[in-house]
């Protein structure tokens, strides 16, 4: 799935109506994603994606220019599960913990397929376990497509766009 080219709902009143109808469900889904990562239940995030859902983490610089380079680009929930399994079993990195702060969650439109267009802001603080140091790791915006038609909401697309041009150190854990 690629980023939506559909225009957002035409007026703030239309967006408000969509948000009133679906805002709590969407907010719960975003919070579940953040809590799964913050509580070191990273494996759980793949279940929040549709089987063919796409998860991408890219810089604002690349996003604004339509450049395809991404730090993480999983084209399916299975590919995301594989990345997480590799993170747990094969990668060597200093133990660390994330803490998400989410804000400005808005349902901004609806695709003809019924998928909701969702925009939100995030900040992620990373704490390195050995040193105990906490630092602002990433800030940015999410552009999501959310399916609310099934028994539980799921991401059809989760595009995390971080504000800086680069990540200070490697990004092992999804954000």
pLDDT in tens, 55-97: 999 999 999 999 999 999 999 999 999 989 987 887 667 788 8
Question: Coil, helix or strand for 71?
Answer: coil
- Would you say residue 123 lies in a domain? yes
Q: Given this model, what pLDDT does residue 4 score?
A: 52
Mean pLDDT, rounded, for 157-172:
85
Classify residue 60: in a domain, yes or no: yes
Instruction: With respect to residue 145, please indicate whether it lies within any of the assigned structural domains.
Output: yes
Q: Domain span at residue 82?
A: 12-162
Q: Tell me if 2 is assigned to some domain.
A: no
pLDDT (0 to 100) of residue 50: 98
Distance between CA atoms of residues 51 and 76, nearest Å: 6
In this structure, what CATH number is given to the domain that contains residue 32? 3.10.450.50
Q: Is residue 38 part of a domain?
A: yes
Q: Which long-range contacts (CB under 8 A, 24 or more apart) does 28-32 make?
A: 28/153, 29/146, 29/153, 29/154, 29/155, 30/102, 30/105, 30/118, 30/120, 30/142, 30/144, 31/102
- Residues 108-121 have a mean pLDDT of 96
Q: Is the per-residue pLDDT at 17 higher than 80?
A: yes
In a domain, 146, yes or no: yes
According to DSSP, the residues that pair with 124 across neighbouring strands are: 100, 138
Q: Is residue 5 part of a domain?
A: no
148 belongs to a structural domain = yes
Looking at the chain, the whole-number percentage of residues with pLDDT higher than 90 is: 71
Q: What is the pTM of this model?
A: 0.89
In the chain, how many domains are there?
1
């Amino acid at each position: 799935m690629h980023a939506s080219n559909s225009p957002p709902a035409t007026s703030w009143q239309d967006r408000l109506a969509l948000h009133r109808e679906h805002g709590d469900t969407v907010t719960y889904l975003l919070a579940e994603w953040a809590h799964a990562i913050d509580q070191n239940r990273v494996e759980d995030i793949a279940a929040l994606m549709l089987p063919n859902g796409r998860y991408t983490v890219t810089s604002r610089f690349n996003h604004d220019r339509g450049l395809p380079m991404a730090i993480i680009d999983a084209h399916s929930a299975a590919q995301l599960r594989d990345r997480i399994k590799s993170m747990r079993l094969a990668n060597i990195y200093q133990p660390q913990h994330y803490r998400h702060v989410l804000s400005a969650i808005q349902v901004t439109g609806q695709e003809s397929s019924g998928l909701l267009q969702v925009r939100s802001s995030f900040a992620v603080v990373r704490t390195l376990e050995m040193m105990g140091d906490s630092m602002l790791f990433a800030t940015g915006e999410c552009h999501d497509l959310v399916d609310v038609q099934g028994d539980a909401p799921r991401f059809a697309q989760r595009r995390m766009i971080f504000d800086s041009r680069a990540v200070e150190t490697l990004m092992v854990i999804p954000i």
